[in-house]
Amino acid sequence: MFKKLPSMSILFHGRLFQPNSLLRHKLFLLCLLVSCYFGSVFFSREVSAVSNVITPAKSIVIDPGHGGIDPGKVGVNDCLEKEINLSIAQKVKDLLEQDGYDVYLTRSNDKDLFPVTSKHPKRDDLQARVSLIEKVDPYFTVSIHQNSFPSENVSGPQVFYYHTSKEGAQLAQVLQTCLNDLLSPASKRECKDDDSYYLLKKTTTPTVIVECGFLSNPKEASMLVTDSYQDLVASAIYQGIVTYLNTTSSPNPVVLQ
């Protein structure tokens, strides 16, 4: 039979000691300090492991213009602007997301954004886009469109920015350069300031409008409906965005050490 040792007894070299209350108190404090030390080491390692993650970049909004009952421009080959806009926007989104950027589309299918009870569908659609952009609060917005002109000889992509936006002007310039360099259009346009576009006027974060080409130009219209040329346009827009982000104090994804 084993003898039951008295409470707080210590067996040392075959001799039984019963520490007094002061010693018991000191032993308790020692055990508590040891526990706190190892606990803090473990906790600090856990925090370090959690902190070593990719912090998300501030969002980017890509706005495919028109949609639903609003076809936008109709090309000389009967192509619809709304379909080209959406296709290019989705390609740009995919490229940016591969780099870890958080990207929002104002529409992801062929729909309009105004309420069914709307008496002013065009105005309400634009207001809905602005509301979405304001809710996301992005670093900037790139709105994708196609152009048109009475003369079929006019061609080439062009980027527009709000006339008082310094950031918009910088982004537009970089995008215009990438579009001209990668697409090699017959007419190399310059980016242009504007104070009439609703989206440019009403968004509080920088917004640019990319007119990818002229659907009134037979050659450009025929290229813009092809998947390969849309890939090229999307790549140029993507390169412009990344170049701009890399040359500004942008919130790029960063791995914390």
Quote the CA–CA distance of 199 and 145 in Å, as a whole number. Answer: 12
Q: What pLDDT is attached to residue 111? A: 93
Sign of CA dihedral 61, 121, 66, 160: negative
Quote the CA–CA distance of 63 and 202 in Å, as a whole number. Answer: 14
Quote the CA–CA distance of 92 and 239 in Å, as a whole number. Answer: 10
Chain position carrying tokens 């105004």: 114
Quote the CA–CA distance of 245 and 140 in Å, as a whole number. Answer: 10
Q: What pLDDT is attached to residue 116? A: 81
Q: What pLDDT is attached to residue 137? A: 96
Quote the CA–CA distance of 60 and 140 in Å, as a whole number. Answer: 6
CB-based contact 170:239 (threshold 8 Å): no
Short-list 101, 84, 110, 100, CA closest to 232: 84
Sign of CA dihedral 224, 225, 228, 231: positive
Note down pLDDT in tens along the chain; length 257 residues: 444 445 445 444 455 445 555 455 555 555 555 454 444 443 333 333 322 333 344 799 999 999 999 999 999 999 999 999 999 999 999 999 999 999 999 999 999 898 888 899 899 999 999 999 999 999 999 999 999 999 999 999 999 999 999 999 999 999 999 999 999 999 899 999 999 999 999 999 999 999 999 999 999 999 999 999 999 999 999 999 999 999 885 554 433 33
